[in-house]
Structure 1
């Protein structure tokens, strides 16, 4: 079956409960699902253990959409270390570090952080680490930054060797994760629930893909949210299903994920030329942050294949992958008509996420690397 064909699909099922009986059934069904989620969350709750160190955390300070990440990392560090001082890249970090003498300075992203400040921290005899959060898309820039740090953490597996070849002695693979205080099962309003959901920017590779399934998505209860979606060849065909240019905070995004039967995750292509500085042509094999955020909300995630995905989730059991537009359509149709299997995979994906992929897990890993003897 060609996903771009003009095949007629059945009309989507109505979302509004038409009478008290159907409304009761819908509410009971969602309540039962929500109760299952709460049970899993209790069984997988993270046990907090304090690392007796003082961390100076340098947030990006770049505002939205980085602000939620700044807040998530700061909040997670606060409950995992003995002492935390928070600043941002625009502040005199070298002076602050010299005054308070932290055990380590952790810089998030680093693209807006003057390397002279990093050098100043090191001259003061204080260890400084950076966590690159957009690899490999800005490696032309990060290549000039990495050597100014004692420790480099990257969310992309293929960038580990890249930084080592540059001469960095301490390089570690540390993907982003999920802030479970915000990304968790929610109880959204009925009008925010959909069969198919995609939240993200319309990079050109995504546009080319969605152009091939426009008719199918138009025939279903689909919702798309993000910038640049007017790039679609037949934007008007999907216009009524697109919230164009809309940014949502973590809690609202989690609500949308929780209310969707299937959430599409399409990774950004490393060679996409939209805001891309990757002249080395480094390919990407690691899952994006959305992978963990969607799964944390107990939604069935339908994602494209990345080589290192199986290190985090078991395909077919905790997450579902697709290989082409037609494969995506076939799997959407299958899981929309196999409710029990869809929910089981989504629930198992959420459990795996909460057991292994929260920011508590990631930052404990980082701190264990930085302070193995504490």
Structure 2
């Protein structure tokens, strides 16, 4: 079987490629990739994609999110007539454009966001919930104990997220007061230009002086993420308010037997057990209290981390998610 994967060129999306490659090997399937450049016109890219489909004759085409430029969709009706096309939304459909034109052409539609399934009636197409789980090689096979360098860490996009800033700032204040080691990687302020970076850092430091001392304003690779999780006592997960389901980081942290402190999401589909295989908090103050408790109870923390790994690695393998998305 041949599968053609369509992904955006941004690192947050190309970072999924190793997980897809591993899953395809488990399925004895051949996977090729088409990387979409969002800064360039879709017209030429669509022609190139059609030529690839005609030359390689894939059995299935899988899009990670839809691709639209000013109402111009990359995947048109002609492409969906060349091969069976599937789509897996890793951002909420509620935050995207109108899909009246494209969705009926797909053979299968999946989303990592549970509330997206309610759009089935609006677009008159079936939409299934499929979480984006963790790739095996990086996030599910290193359960050896490593030296914990940090007491707490966070990785993610923070700029523009009041919720994430609020939680991280509270925890930073706790860490400073209690002499704990904290580190945060991600996009905290704009830094595409050197002057923009200077101004952004200055404004952030002035507004959040304590949190600033724990921030490294850069994105890190999936491999670096996996290493950081292993070297952290408590890995913090903070979802954005627009999502009700669990993000892929939820599974990436747990897979290698790491302890996760996570804001509780819609748990009706996943069935995590609070304080058994993950620990949930509901506001910044509770996050601080739980952080303090589990830093003082390492054996309990280690047991929960172990149970978390068993849970996600037995029930939520990436290859199983891919099978559901592609109707295999």
Report the TM-score range of the alignment, normalised by the length of the smaller protein: 0.7 to 0.9
**Alignment counterpart, residue 120 of structure 1, candidates 55, 78, 82:** 78
**Alignment counterpart, residue 321 of structure 1, candidates 263, 280, 304:** 280
Pairing of 1:148-187 with structure 2 (within 5 A): 148-168=105-125, 170-184=126-140, 185=142
Q: How far apart are 1:141 and its partner, in Å?
A: 5.2
In 1, Cα distance between equivalents of 2:143 and 2:186: 21
Q: How far apart are 1:196 and its partner, in Å?
A: 0.9
**Alignment counterpart, residue 310 of structure 2, candidates 332, 340, 351:** 351
1:102 equivalent in structure 2: 58
Segments of structure 2 that go 5 or more residues without pairing to the other structure are 37-44, 190-200
Q: How far apart are 1:129 and its partner, in Å?
A: 0.8
1:87 equivalent in structure 2: 34
The alpha-carbon distance between structure 1 residues 82 and 252, as it changes in their structure 2 partners (threshold 3 A), is closer
SS in 2 for 1:364: helix
In 2, Cα distance between equivalents of 1:310 and 1:198: 25
SS in 1 for 2:33: strand
SS in 2 for 1:66: helix
In 2, Cα distance between equivalents of 1:139 and 1:226: 23
In 2, Cα distance between equivalents of 1:162 and 1:135: 11
1:209 equivalent in structure 2: 167
1:35 equivalent in structure 2: none
The alpha-carbon distance between structure 1 residues 345 and 232, as it changes in their structure 2 partners (threshold 3 A), is farther
In 2, Cα distance between equivalents of 1:269 and 1:161: 18
In 1, Cα distance between equivalents of 2:60 and 2:6: 14
TM-score scaled by structure 2? Answer: 0.81
Q: Number of matched residues? A: 299
SS in 2 for 1:130: strand
In 1, Cα distance between equivalents of 2:120 and 2:96: 9
1:139 equivalent in structure 2: 96
Tell me whether 154-163 or 69-78 shows the greater mean CA deviation: 69-78
2:262 equivalent in structure 1: 303
Asked whether 1:257 is paired with 2:262, we answer no
In 2, Cα distance between equivalents of 1:75 and 1:93: 23
In 2, Cα distance between equivalents of 1:58 and 1:334: 44
Asked whether 1:268 is paired with 2:226, we answer no
User: In the alignment, is the contact (CA less than 8 A) between 1:111 and 1:142 conserved in 2?
Assistant: no
Asked whether 1:218 is paired with 2:218, we answer no
SS in 1 for 2:286: helix
SS in 2 for 1:327: helix
In 1, Cα distance between equivalents of 2:232 and 2:111: 31
SS in 1 for 2:131: coil
CA RMSD of aligned residues (A): 2.6
User: In the alignment, is the contact (CA less than 8 A) between 1:58 and 1:106 conserved in 2?
Assistant: yes
User: In the alignment, is the contact (CA less than 8 A) between 1:94 and 1:118 conserved in 2?
Assistant: no
1:3 equivalent in structure 2: none
Q: How far apart are 1:83 and its partner, in Å?
A: 3.7
2:210 equivalent in structure 1: 237
Q: How far apart are 1:166 and its partner, in Å?
A: 1.2
1:71 equivalent in structure 2: 18
In 2, Cα distance between equivalents of 1:123 and 1:188: 51
In 2, Cα distance between equivalents of 1:206 and 1:93: 38
User: In the alignment, is the contact (CA less than 8 A) between 1:106 and 1:129 conserved in 2?
Assistant: yes
Q: How far apart are 1:136 and its partner, in Å?
A: 4.3
User: In the alignment, is the contact (CA less than 8 A) between 1:222 and 1:241 conserved in 2?
Assistant: yes
Q: How far apart are 1:234 and its partner, in Å?
A: 4.2
Q: How far apart are 1:252 and its partner, in Å?
A: 1.2
In 2, Cα distance between equivalents of 1:144 and 1:252: 40
Segments of structure 1 that go 5 or more residues without pairing to the other structure are 1-53, 271-283
Q: How far apart are 1:79 and its partner, in Å?
A: 3.2
In 1, Cα distance between equivalents of 2:307 and 2:139: 16
